Structure 1
Amino acid sequence: MADHPSAYKVDPRGNLYLRYLHYIRVTKPLALLIENVPDSLNYGGHNVMGEIAELLEKDLGYRARYSLINSAFHGVPQMRDRVYLLAVHEEVDHEIHFPRAIKHMVLPSGYGGTRSVALKFVDLFGSDAFEEADHGTPDLPGPVTAKEAIGDLSPITLHLEGKLKKGAQRFQVPTAYPRQLGAISAYAKTMRTWAGFEAPEDGLRDHVIRYLPRDTDIFRAMPNGAEYPAAHATAVRLYEEHIQNREQRGGRRLTAGEKTMIFRTMVPPYPVGSFPNRWWKLKSDFPVRTLMAHIGKDTYSHIHYDGAQARVISVREAARLQSFPDGFTFCGTMNPAYRQIGNAVPPLMAKRLAETIMDSLRRACARPAVTRRVPVAAE
C-alpha cells in the first residue's frame, strides 16, 4: 500500500483525530492542543484541521483557532512548518490566540510554495477559526543559527582517526563540553541550564554519530547549503581524481572492472533526479531544515557545516536543533533516539504554546465572577 500514490487516503491513521475528539468529549479539558504536519490542511483535498475546529466549536463547546507556524520565528534553530490547533472550553470565557513571533527571517522560496499548497483548502472548513501566523518585523532579532545551536559542542573526529566502529552506538561514554575560548550563545546557555533538565556534570552521553566511511570525503568537500546533486557531483569529481592519481602512481590504465568497483565504493548509488534534498549540508549562519523521523534511518539530510569534521550531526546535535535541553535523556540506542527527536514537537515551540494557554486561563480566572440575579416573585 505504501507504494501507491493514494495510499494515504485509506491509511487508518488518517482518522485518529476522531479518537482524540472522543477523548475530549469524555474528559472535557479546559484547554487542548493539537499538532500535525501541513498536509493535514490538504489531506486528499480535505482540511482536517478545519473540520476538527468546526466540531470542537459546534458540538463540544470550545473556542478553537488553528494556524500554520514555522518554529524558526519562535526561537527554534529549525525551519519547521507545522499546523497547531489551540482550543479553550466556553466556560473559560476567553478568546485564545497564537503567540507573536520573537524572531524574524525571510523563509527560503521553497517554503512559500509548500505553504501555499497546504493552505489551499483552508477556506473549505473552519475558515473563521484559521489564524495567520505572525512572522514578526525586521526590527526583531534574526533566527537562531546552526552554529549558535551546536557550535559549543565538542568536535567529533573518531571516524577520522579510525576509531569509530560499525554498529549500534550506545550512550555509554560521556563527552565533556570543550573549554570555551569565548562566550557561548544565549541559545546554547538555555539548552545547558533549562530548569529540571540541566546539563549532566560528567558530559553528554548521546553525542555520537553514524559510521559512514564512504562519505567522509564527500562531506568534507561539498559546499555548505549543497544538496544531493552537488554531493553526487563532488563524489564523481573525487572518484575521477582518485583514478587519475592511481593510474599515475601505478604507471598503467585501470580496467573498466577496476573502475566500476572503485566507483561503487566512492559514489553514492542514489539517482540524482530522485529526492534531490535527500542530502543537505548545514549552513552555519542559518537555521536548519526540518528534522523528521527519517533521521532514525539516516542523517544525510543534516550534514554538519564544519567540513573539517566531515560527518553528519550527532544525536545530541539533532536534539539541540530540535531545542531539547541537554539534560533530557532519550530511550534506547542511536537510531531510536534520532527517531524520537524527529517525531517530537520542539520543546521551545511547545513552551511558547503552553504559555499562551496558561495566559488565557489566568486572565479568565482573574476576571470577577459574574453574579446571576435570581428574580424575586411579585408579592
Structure 2
Amino acid sequence: MIQSKLERLKRGGRPRVLDLFAGCGGISLGFHSAGFEIVGAVEIDTAAARSHALNFHRDAPPDLFETHAKPRDITAIEPEELLAEYGLDGPADAQIDVIVGGPPCQAFARVGRAKLREVAEHPEAFLRDPRSNLYLRYLDYVRSLKPIALLMENVPDVLNFGGHNVAEETCEVLDDLGYDPRYTLMNAVFYGVPQMRERMVLVAYRKELKADRWHPNPSHWIDLPKGYLGTRQVAMRTIRTDLLEEDRYFSDPPEPHPDNSIPAVTAEQALSDLPRIDDESELKQTKGPRRFDKLVRYPSPPMTDYQRLMRQWPGFESLEGVHDHVIRYLPRDYKIFARMQPGDQYPEAHQLALRMFEERLQEIERKEGSRPRPGTKRYEQEMAEYVPPYDPGKFPNKWRKMEADMPARTLMAHLGKDSYSHIHYDSTQARTISVREAARLQSFPDGFVFQGPMNPAFRQVGNAVPPLMAKAVAAVMMEQLEKAKKHETEDRTQAAVAV
C-alpha cells in the first residue's frame, strides 16, 4: 500500500490530507499552500466545521459541501464511514497519504487543569479528563488509514503531563506501527508569524521513506521574553538526555540566528494597514450583534511584505477590504486602554482605573461642592463606570496591551469570551483587537472566511495552528515525499537491472 501511494504521487498526484480535530483549518491552510490536497476534516464544533468547508470545499456541489460542513465527533465515526460519506471508493487505507491534527489541548495545558472539578482535593484529577485520551483516537485513524506521513501538534505541556511525556509515548506507538517519528518544540514567531506561540510538533514518516528531516529551520529571529523560555524549560523537565535512558525521539528545538534569519514580524507590521476603529467608529459607540456582512475597505496599499501576503495569499486573496473587522463593545474600558502603556497588564490597568475614578470624584467635588461618600449608591455607580470588578491579585494576566514593535503574545481560545489579553497597541484607537486583527496575528490571510458571529470566530482563531508555521512543516514534508518518490524509482530500476 505504501508503494502504491508513492507510485500515485510519482504520476503527479498531490498528497491527500485528512485533518483531524481540524478547527477552522490552520494546519489545512498551511498544507494546502505547500501543494497538498485537503480531502476532508473531522471537527466537532459546528461553526469551525463550517468555516473549514467554506475555505477548502467552497466549490464542491451543494450536497458534498454540506457533507464537508457537517460537525463530527471523532469518537463516534470510523475512518471507513467518514471516507464513504465523502464518496471515496475503494479501500479506506488507499485514500489518504497524510494525516494531520492537534487533539484538544485543554487537558494538557496548565490553564485547563485548574478548572477541572475536584482538582483542589485531588491534584491528579486532570489525568481522568477524557479529552486527554483523544490523541489515542488520532492513532486509531493512523492504524486504519496507513498514511505515509503525519503531523501531530499540541501544547508544550504534553511533554510533562502528570509526569508522562505523551509525545515520547506516542512516538513509541508510531514506531511499532512502522513509522519513524520525531518531535520538538517550535515557536511560531520563528516562521514569520507575528505572534510568540510555542507548540509541540510531532512529525512521522513511514520507515520505507527513509526520511532524514522532520522539522523546518527558522526563517525569522527574535530574543524571546523570559516567560517563553521558562515555559519551554518546564515542558522539557521530563526529557531524558542521558545515554542510558534517553528520549530518543526528541529533537532539539530549531533555534534561529540573527546572521541567517530576518527580524520577526511585529504587531504594527502585521496590522497597521487595516482600517482604524477609533472613537468615531460605530463599533465603539453602539452595542449590538457583530456580523461579518459589511465590507470595510483598506485605507491604503499594503505597507509591509507581511501585509502584502495577507492580502494576496494565493487562493485567499482579498483586494478591496475585509468583512470581519469587528470588536467588542467595552465602553467602560476604552479610557483605560488609552492610558495604558505598552506591556501593561491588569494590575497597571486597575491602578489607572482607580486614579481616573479619583479624578472623577475630584471633578464632582469641584462642580457640586462635595464628593459621593463610599457606600452610597452614587459612589458605587460612579465607581462602576471606571473600575473593573476583578481582583488584580487574582487576575494579573487578564489584560495586556500589545507592543507595536514586538510580535504579539500567544492568542488563546479565551478570545471567544473576551479580548483583554490583546489590547491594541495604538492608544488613539483604545480598544481590543478585532476578529480580523486576531486572524492576522495568527497568519490567516484576509480572504480566509470565518463562520460568524463574532464570539465563535474569535474562538476559532484562538484555537488554530498558525498557517505559516504549518506551511513551514508542510514544505519539509513535501521535500521528503519528493525524495522518497525518487528513491522508489531508483530502487525499482536497480531491481530490474539485477533481474
> TM-score surpassing 0.5?
yes
Structure 1's 195 and 126: CA in aligned 2 closer, same or farther, altered over 3 A?
farther
Structure-1 residue corresponding to 2:230: 113
Matches within 5 A, 1:70-109: 70-109=187-226
Pick from 360, 374, 382: which aligns with 1:262?
382
Q: Is the 8 A contact 1:155 1:309 kept in 2?
A: yes
3-state SS, counterpart of residue 84 of structure 1: strand
Structure-2 residue corresponding to 1:187: 306
Structure-1 residue corresponding to 2:84: none
Residue 300 (structure 1) aligned with residue 417 (structure 2): no
Q: Which amino acid aligns with 2:286?
A: K
- Whole-Å separation in 2 of the counterparts to 1:64 and 1:131: 10
- Whole-Å separation in 1 of the counterparts to 2:200 and 2:293: 37
- Whole-Å separation in 1 of the counterparts to 2:338 and 2:451: 31
Q: Is the 8 A contact 2:277 2:284 kept in 1?
A: no
Q: Which amino acid aligns with 1:60?
A: L
Identity level (%): 50
Pick from 220, 225, 247: which aligns with 2:343?
225
Q: CA deviation at 1:160?
A: 6.0
Deviations, residues 244-272 of structure 1 (Å, cap 9, x unaligned): 11211112232221223211221111111
Q: Give the aligned CA root-mean-square deviation in angstroms.
A: 2.0
Pick from 176, 180, 204: which aligns with 2:322?
204
Pick from 162, 172, 180: which aligns with 1:54?
172
- Whole-Å separation in 1 of the counterparts to 2:463 and 2:246: 27
Matches within 5 A, 1:136-285: 136-139=256-259, 140-157=261-278, 164-180=285-301, 184-201=303-320, 203-256=321-374, 257=376, 258-285=378-405
Structure 1, unmatched stretches of 5+, are: none
Q: Which amino acid aligns with 1:249?
A: K
Q: Which amino acid aligns with 2:342?
A: N
Pick from 453, 456, 464: which aligns with 1:344?
464
Q: CA deviation at 1:38?
A: 1.0
3-state SS, counterpart of residue 268 of structure 1: coil
Matches within 5 A, 1:24-39: 24-39=142-157
State the aligned residue count. Answer: 372
Query: Which range moved further: 336-345 or 122-131?
Result: 122-131
Q: Which amino acid aligns with 2:225?
A: P
Q: Is the 8 A contact 2:403 2:425 kept in 1?
A: yes
Pick from 4, 14, 18: which aligns with 2:136?
18
- Whole-Å separation in 2 of the counterparts to 1:117 and 1:274: 22
Structure 1's 375 and 335: CA in aligned 2 closer, same or farther, altered over 3 A?
closer
3-state SS, counterpart of residue 397 of structure 2: helix
Q: CA deviation at 1:165?
A: 2.5
Structure 1's 126 and 154: CA in aligned 2 closer, same or farther, altered over 3 A?
farther
Structure 1's 21 and 126: CA in aligned 2 closer, same or farther, altered over 3 A?
farther
| TM-score calculated relative to the size of structure 2 | 0.72
Structure 1's 4 and 374: CA in aligned 2 closer, same or farther, altered over 3 A?
farther
Structure 1's 318 and 164: CA in aligned 2 closer, same or farther, altered over 3 A?
same
Q: CA deviation at 1:158?
A: 5.4
- Whole-Å separation in 2 of the counterparts to 1:247 and 1:162: 33
Q: CA deviation at 1:157?
A: 2.2
Q: Is the 8 A contact 2:338 2:428 kept in 1?
A: yes
Query: Which range moved further: 258-267 or 292-301?
Result: 258-267
3-state SS, counterpart of residue 213 of structure 1: coil
| TM-score calculated relative to the size of structure 1 | 0.94
Q: Is the 8 A contact 2:284 2:331 kept in 1?
A: no
Structure 1's 375 and 189: CA in aligned 2 closer, same or farther, altered over 3 A?
closer
Q: Which amino acid aligns with 1:324?
A: F
Pick from 369, 373, 378: which aligns with 2:491?
369
Q: CA deviation at 1:163?
A: 6.1
Q: CA deviation at 1:132?
A: 1.3
- Whole-Å separation in 2 of the counterparts to 1:150 and 1:4: 42
- Whole-Å separation in 2 of the counterparts to 1:142 and 1:195: 24
Structure 1's 128 and 290: CA in aligned 2 closer, same or farther, altered over 3 A?
same
Structure-1 residue corresponding to 2:253: 133
Q: Is the 8 A contact 2:325 2:436 kept in 1?
A: yes
Q: Is the 8 A contact 2:283 2:326 kept in 1?
A: no
Structure 2, unmatched stretches of 5+, are: 1-114
Q: Which amino acid aligns with 2:345?
A: E
